């Protein structure tokens, strides 16, 4: 019950952050639109176009967080967390499309140049939007990592990429203001359009990895290293370890070899101990499914249990668990 309440609270927190992101995106779109009509700068226009994407992506992210926060049901026994990865994928595509539109508008500015005006006021307005994006991008990214929310992480990366492009635009407009080289307007827009396209690709790549349940090698390495340090004497062997992400929830599967003579209750206690350690060290929203295997004769050589009354062979050496041997679906022997 406590785990369910924590998930609900995290879901509500994620939604609150995303509501702020949508509100900010609408406000910044208005400011950038005003700045464009003041200056007629294609660089500012491209920034405004990206803000339209921010608004659309913000609403998509908000809906995905609403869906992912729903409790599991008969049709979705693992919950609705995958909706966040779909949201991030759509956002990545939108970011890339915005970058392509910006490239088109920038190239068009070279062939059909327009005079610029009121650049000083436009620079100030765009700089303000960049600072706001930086603040909320950091908040979204931090909350997303804390709550394992792909939607918030995607929104945070998007806002930060918008911040960097805005910074570049401010620098470019400042150079134009002092040098009067109007061709810099389109050049700056193209440069940061390419950065935006790459950012969209990164968000899309990460979301597809989540949808396809791609192994998170960093997470797995940290988990295995932690279990290796905290292993109990009855944990003879660990193998076939897998971690799947469903939004903010981690599902961990593994095979744990225990002494064959332990009772059902004793085996259950060992699994409970492992679960408590993992949940305390990593995240609250984690589910653990452990398949217990009885030890076999060859397990004696790697078993560190000193008071075993049925040992067939002497202990020879401890097998250190690592990424290469724990992911395999086979028990470890002395040759590992």
Residue 258 gets the label, from left (phi > 0), alpha (psi -120 to 50) or beta, of beta
- Separation CA 125–CA 35 (nearest Å): 6
Q: Residue 83 in contact with residue 68, Cβ under 8 Å?
A: yes
Instruction: Please give the pLDDT value at position 1.
Output: 47
* Full set of structural domains in the chain with CATH: 2-211 (1.20.1510.10), 217-326 (3.30.70.1350)
Distances (CA, A) of 300 to 267, 297, 316, 321: 18, 6, 8, 17
List, in sequence order, the alpha helices (H) in the chain.
Answer: 2-39, 42-68, 82-111, 119-146, 150-179, 183-211, 217-230, 264-281, 323-326
**336 pLDDT higher than 70:** no
The residue-averaged pLDDT of 237-251 equals 80
Instruction: Please give the pLDDT value at position 334.
Output: 65
- Separation CA 216–CA 150 (nearest Å): 13
Highest mean pLDDT among 15-24, 81-90, 261-270: 261-270
- Separation CA 129–CA 162 (nearest Å): 9
- Separation CA 223–CA 241 (nearest Å): 10
List, in sequence order, the alpha helices (H) in 212-263.
Answer: 217-230
Residue 257's H or E segment, with its range, is strand 249-258
Q: Which residue has the higher pLDDT, 95 or 11?
A: 95
Instruction: Please give the pLDDT value at position 135.
Output: 92
Task: Annotate 186-207 with three-state secondary structure.
Answer: HHHHHHHHHHHHHHHHHHHHHH
**268 pLDDT higher than 90:** yes
**143 pLDDT higher than 70:** yes
Q: pLDDT of 95-114, one tens digit each?
A: 788 778 778 877 777 777 67
Q: pLDDT of 12-64, one tens digit each?
A: 777 788 788 888 888 988 998 999 888 888 778 777 877 777 787 778 777 77
Half-sphere exposure of 26 (CA within 13 A, CB side): 7
- Separation CA 111–CA 152 (nearest Å): 39
């Amino acid at each position: 019950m406590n785990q369910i309440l924590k998930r609900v609270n995290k879901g509500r927190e994620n939604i609150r952050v995303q509501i702020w992101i949508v509100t900010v995106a609408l406000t910044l779109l208005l400011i950038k639109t005003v700045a464009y009509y003041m200056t007629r700068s294609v660089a500012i226009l491209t920034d405004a176009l990206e803000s339209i994407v921010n608004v659309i992506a913000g609403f998509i992210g908000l809906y995905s967080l609403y869906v992912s926060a729903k409790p599991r049901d008969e049709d979705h026994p693992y919950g609705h967390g995958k909706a966040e990865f779909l949201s991030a994928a759509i956002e990545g595509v939108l970011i890339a499309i915005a970058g392509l539109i910006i490239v088109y508008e920038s190239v068009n500015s070279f062939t059909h140049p327009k005079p610029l005006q009121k650049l000083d006021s436009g620079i100030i307005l765009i700089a303000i939007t960049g600072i706001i994006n930086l603040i909320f991008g950091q908040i979204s990214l931090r909350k997303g990592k804390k709550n394992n929310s792909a939607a918030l992480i995607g929104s945070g990366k998007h806002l930060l990429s918008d911040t960097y492009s805005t910074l570049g635009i401010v620098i470019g407009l400042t150079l134009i203001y002092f040098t009067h080289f109007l061709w810099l307007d389109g050049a700056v827009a193209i440069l940061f359009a390419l950065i935006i396209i790459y950012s969209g690709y990164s968000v899309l790549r990460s979301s597809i990895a989540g949808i396809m349940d791609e192994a998170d090698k960093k997470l797995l390495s940290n988990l295995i290293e932690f279990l290796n340090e905290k292993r109990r004497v009855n944990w003879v062997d660990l193998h076939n370890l897998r971690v799947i992400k469903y939004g903010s929830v981690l599902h961990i599967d593994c095979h744990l070899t225990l002494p064959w003579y332990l009772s059902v209750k004793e085996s259950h206690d060992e699994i409970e101990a492992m679960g408590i350690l993992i949940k305390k060290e990593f995240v609250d929203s984690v589910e653990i499914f452990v398949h217990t295997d009885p030890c076999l004769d060859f397990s004696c050589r790697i078993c560190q249990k000193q008071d075993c009354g049925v040992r067939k062979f002497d202990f020879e050496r401890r097998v250190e668990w690592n990424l290469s041997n724990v992911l395999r679906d086979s028990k470890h022997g002395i040759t590992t």
